[in-house]
Structure 1
Amino acid sequence: MKIFSIPGIIKFLILIISVLTIIIFSSSRADFKETDIQPKVPEFTPTNTFQFERTESILNLPIKIPLANIEKALNLNIPLTFVGTETDLTDLLSNDNLTYEINRQNLSIGTRNNLITFSIPVSGTAKVKGKIDLRLTKIPVSAQTNIVGTIFGDISLGIDNEWNIKPNLNVSTNLTKAEVPIKNIGTINIARILQKQVDIVINKEKPKLIAELVNELNLKAEVTKQWNNLHLSEQVSKDPSIWIKTEPQSVSFQEFDLSDGKNVQSGIGIKMFVDTCICKEVSSINFKPLPNLTIQKQIMDKFLINLPVQVSLDELNNTIQSEVRGKSFSIDENLQVIVNDIDLSPLGEKILVKVDFKTDKDSLLQGAKGVLYLWGNIFYDQGSNHLKVVELDYDVDTKNALLSTADSLLKPVLLRQVEERLSFPLNEELIRAKNEANKYIQQIKLPSEIDANIEVKNIEVEKVVIANNDIFMVLLADGNMSAILNLEDRE
């Protein structure tokens, strides 16, 4: 038996069966007339739509924001030069005046204890004017010195349930060289004074720096776009017409992680309802705006979806014919039935089993022959992993004909023996179906900005249905559904 892929050719069977002839049985005991009959199709509601159960999946979107982006934002927004003039800043001088100019180099980014750390080398000059009080006299002082040091700090990141990024920025200055020489006296250390002044200037700039970081880490706009795009309705097969519809429902956010030392990493888990149907068209999408998020430590990438896989009727019939054709069925010690041919046809919601047979020439009905029409239901036996036709019974007209001609064929033992042989193993077919399912799922067109990776890991038969006069196995595909939302090239 072979399971065709979804885009395979579907064979629509004609519901109104052409005249099917039973040549009523002849025996040595009586002569019978030939009779033409038509099997009665059981009552059912014709439909071109089969709506499968809705499944719930989680699309895991790992987020990676390179630290280089944050480094770039800080370099663009931290002032290149700190200049100032301050008066009366030290007790060592009177009427003193301090003028300084400090230039920074490019900052470098690192990580520590899930914090973003940065350091900025600085250098410059400072000039001091004033007078030293030597009790008996005041000596004028005018000196210039070089300044060397580092501005350093750290940034911690947080986010609230309304998508607001909450960075906490700490900055301080450490000057390792800032001493003004005083001739014949010594030196005056102005490092502490300059550090305080530079820290004041930087802290005035902090609101602007934080605003730039919030803008750089603004996920809400990006996630809103992807959320809207995930309201999908895709026709993944035209013959038969099969649709997949996805409707996102909720969002979870994974805490920021800096453990790799190169990126701010996180993850967004979008819970979605996934509908699959065999239908000409699907109902309209129920659009839902981006909701508030929930924070969690880990985002799973659980993926579940019902997939309809068409069963090849030709392969089913080839299988049962090789197993049953030419075989005999014992109804009792006086009656042997030999199957010439057997054929399955799904009609409506039932399976029609056509059995072309003859009886053994030494049996009770010597040389009798004809065609039996049986109705049954399709069933998947999970324990044996077999597809079966069960609950066989005669077509009404076939039963009436047998009552008047060969009622011995109505014994339940014949139906049981036929039913036992209408069983098809699915082990190899499910392996092939897994590969087909992977190809099928790849047809789901996620937004182009998302580099998606969807892979079926496990697959099992959920149920078997008849739709559009064909047999479908509804497979529950279980796997990973992840994607990368890389903001590295974002402008």
Structure 2
Amino acid sequence: MKTLLISLLATGLLLTSCATSSRIQALKPEPGNTTDVVYQKSTSFISLPVSIAVADLETQTNKFVTGLVYEDNNIKDDDVTLKVWKTAPIKFSEKNGRLQIIIPIKVNGNVRYGTTTMGIDLHDTREFNLAANITFDSSIGLRNWQMTTDTKLQNLEWTESPSITVAGKKIPITYLINPTIKLFKTRIEDELDNAIKQSVDFKPQVLDALETLSKPFLTSEQYETWFQLMPEELYVTDAKLNKKQITMNMGLKCTMETTVGQAPKAVLKKDAVVLKAVSSMPEKVSAVVAAVSTYQSASAIITKNFQGQEFGDGKRKVTIQKVDLWSKDGKMIVALEMMGSITGTIYLSGIPNYNAVTKEIYFDQMDYVLDTKSALMRTANWMASGIILKKIQENCRYSIQANLEEGKKSMLPYLNNYSPMAGVFVNGTLDDFEFDKVTLTDNAIIAFIKGSGKINLKVDGMK
């Protein structure tokens, strides 16, 4: 009797359960076979205002102009031989936007004086030593990757007027020395222009920097995310001199790619990079940061969103136990494992999007997968209600705020007095990021975010 009672009770519970709960059978949309995804290329301009201290130009020029700067050993052509040395460091200054250059010199020479009478040579030769300060005036320019100057002698100040002593008397020889100044002044002008050109040759440094920048680097080992900057053209404005600084704007036209999967190949051809002269340059720098979320991590976050919530109408309610995500044909598949009036898994599809206010990824145009909707109409058409779907959709979202902050944080060290080489410093600011695009791969959701800012490059204390 007792056994019969238990059997009847179990049967009643089973019948009651069947009356209040049903199991849904829906076909699972299989994940797509998305291969590596490359973000669609877009052109970016990186502006680099460059400033070089006149003091650094002075330091570098002094390295090239040393010791003997002019020598003339032929006395027959003009009755004078000369050797000209730099005796102290060259001094640079700025005046009315032009470069003023002062070179202290020492001159050692021989002067021939006298006459020839009836075929008899009555000439005598005397050695002389004198010192002077020569002032040059120079304009600043830029040509073929190198700083150029057009230097002209402006003034020569003799410390002592050129003269020789004959029979105890000083005889001025300025009339002999001054014409020779034309000879060595041109030599020194050329020496200065050549030294400045060699001192500030941008090409090797710029091309080496571009080669380094263009090498793909791994931004996330876990998600196999690669970033690559590909230079296309380099621009530069005219060099200007003001307040002891030589300034110019350099700019890089490039494309930026974020790739998920295998490492892309470096494509820079240094010999093909051309420096183009332009009149102006945009100030802003644009950059793209990829906020990467695996489906596993996103699923865990969304599952938490559903905890403690019921969805339904009256006595017919369900709770979501687990959420799984994957991609198929460019859309997000959301699998909801539920219990309650309906038990089983239903499948929704939607298009990922971004809410700039809450900084969240959400799924737009969400609807039941066709087979799921058919199954719901057969077993529990109340679940197909748009009201319930909307409530479910509200919970299918997750924040990427941490990703954005991490992306911005990773760039800041390169904008705070960053020194890639001795005497070169990079500083800048980075504005907030703006959403650009969401891309689905076979194992991750990638939100591409654009950032902008300003960068300046300063040469100060160059060795």
TM-score range, shorter chain: 0.7 to 0.9
Look up the match of 2:365: 391
Inter-partner Cα distance in structure 2 for 1:458 and 1:324:
31
Contact 2:348 2:367 in 1 (8 A): yes
Tell me which moved more, 472-481 or 318-327. Answer: 318-327
The answer as to 2:40 corresponding to 1:67 is no
Look up the match of 2:6: none
Contact 1:111 1:258 in 2 (8 A): no
Tell me which moved more, 429-438 or 168-177. Answer: 429-438
Structure 1 residues 145, 41: CA separation in 2 closer, same or farther (over 3 Å shift)?
closer
Contact 2:57 2:196 in 1 (8 A): no
The code of the aligned residue for 1:58 comes to I
Task: Pick from 34, 37, 44 the counterpart of residue 47 of structure 1.
Answer: 34
Contact 1:63 1:268 in 2 (8 A): no
Inter-partner Cα distance in structure 2 for 1:453 and 1:167:
28
The one of the two structures with greater contact order (alpha-carbon pairs below 8 A, sep at least 6) is 1
The code of the aligned residue for 1:345 comes to L
Inter-partner Cα distance in structure 2 for 1:110 and 1:48:
60
The code of the aligned residue for 1:420 comes to E
Look up the match of 2:5: none
The answer as to 2:279 corresponding to 1:279 is no
Structure 1 residues 130, 374: CA separation in 2 closer, same or farther (over 3 Å shift)?
same
Task: Please state how far the C-alpha of 1:237 moved relative to its aligned partner.
Answer: 3.4
Look up the match of 1:421: 395
Structure 1 residues 82, 72: CA separation in 2 closer, same or farther (over 3 Å shift)?
farther
Task: Please state how far the C-alpha of 1:438 moved relative to its aligned partner.
Answer: 5.6
Task: Please state how far the C-alpha of 1:120 moved relative to its aligned partner.
Answer: 1.5
Q: Deviations over 1:29-84 (max 9, x none)?
A: 97599757353317x852121111224242638474532121232224613x6677
Matches of residues 13-162 of structure 1 in structure 2 within 5 Å? 31=19, 37-41=25-29, 45-55=32-42, 56-58=44-46, 60=48, 62=50, 64=52, 66-76=57-67, 78-79=69-70, 85=75, 105-113=87-95, 114-122=98-106, 129-130=113-114, 147-160=130-143, 162=144
Contact 1:174 1:195 in 2 (8 A): no
Contact 2:216 2:263 in 1 (8 A): no
Look up the match of 1:243: 226
Inter-partner Cα distance in structure 2 for 1:340 and 1:228:
52
Taking structure 1 as the reference length, what is the TM-score of the superposition?
0.69
Task: Please state how far the C-alpha of 1:240 moved relative to its aligned partner.
Answer: 1.9
Task: Pick from 292, 299, 319 the counterpart of residue 339 of structure 1.
Answer: 319
Task: Please state how far the C-alpha of 1:396 moved relative to its aligned partner.
Answer: 3.8
Q: Deviations over 1:148-200 (max 9, x none)?
A: 4333323333233x44654322125333423567889x975433442222332
Look up the match of 1:370: 343
Look up the match of 1:92: none
Taking structure 2 as the reference length, what is the TM-score of the superposition?
0.73
Aligned residue for 1:177, secondary structure, equals coil
Query: Structure 1: where are the runs of 5+ without partners?
Result: 1-25, 90-96, 132-139, 359-367
Matches of residues 301-312 of structure 1 in structure 2 within 5 Å? 302-311=284-293
Task: Please state how far the C-alpha of 1:249 moved relative to its aligned partner.
Answer: 1.0
Contact 1:173 1:195 in 2 (8 A): no
Task: Please state how far the C-alpha of 1:308 moved relative to its aligned partner.
Answer: 2.2
The answer as to 2:183 corresponding to 1:200 is yes
Matches of residues 426-465 of structure 1 in structure 2 within 5 Å? 426-427=400-401, 430-435=404-409, 456-465=430-439
Task: Pick from 292, 301, 325 the counterpart of residue 307 of structure 2.
Answer: 325
Contact 1:54 1:273 in 2 (8 A): yes
The code of the aligned residue for 2:36 comes to T
Look up the match of 1:170: 152
Structure 1 residues 197, 40: CA separation in 2 closer, same or farther (over 3 Å shift)?
same
Inter-partner Cα distance in structure 2 for 1:466 and 1:98:
83
Task: Provide the aligned C-alpha RMSD in A.
Answer: 4.5
Inter-partner Cα distance in structure 1 for 2:270 and 2:49:
19
Higher relative helix content: 2
Aligned residue for 1:66, secondary structure, equals helix
Query: Structure 2: where are the runs of 5+ without partners?
Result: 1-13, 116-122
Inter-partner Cα distance in structure 2 for 1:98 and 1:394:
101
Structure 1 residues 61, 339: CA separation in 2 closer, same or farther (over 3 Å shift)?
same
Structure 1 residues 27, 423: CA separation in 2 closer, same or farther (over 3 Å shift)?
farther
Q: Deviations over 1:223-277 (max 9, x none)?
A: 445445554233443332222233211111243344464x756554332212211
Look up the match of 1:364: none
Contact 2:140 2:149 in 1 (8 A): yes
The code of the aligned residue for 1:413 comes to I
Contact 1:100 1:125 in 2 (8 A): yes
Look up the match of 1:19: none
- Identity, % of aligned positions: 13
Inter-partner Cα distance in structure 1 for 2:211 and 2:307:
57
The code of the aligned residue for 1:465 comes to T
Inter-partner Cα distance in structure 1 for 2:202 and 2:176:
40
Matches of residues 460-471 of structure 1 in structure 2 within 5 Å? 460-471=434-445
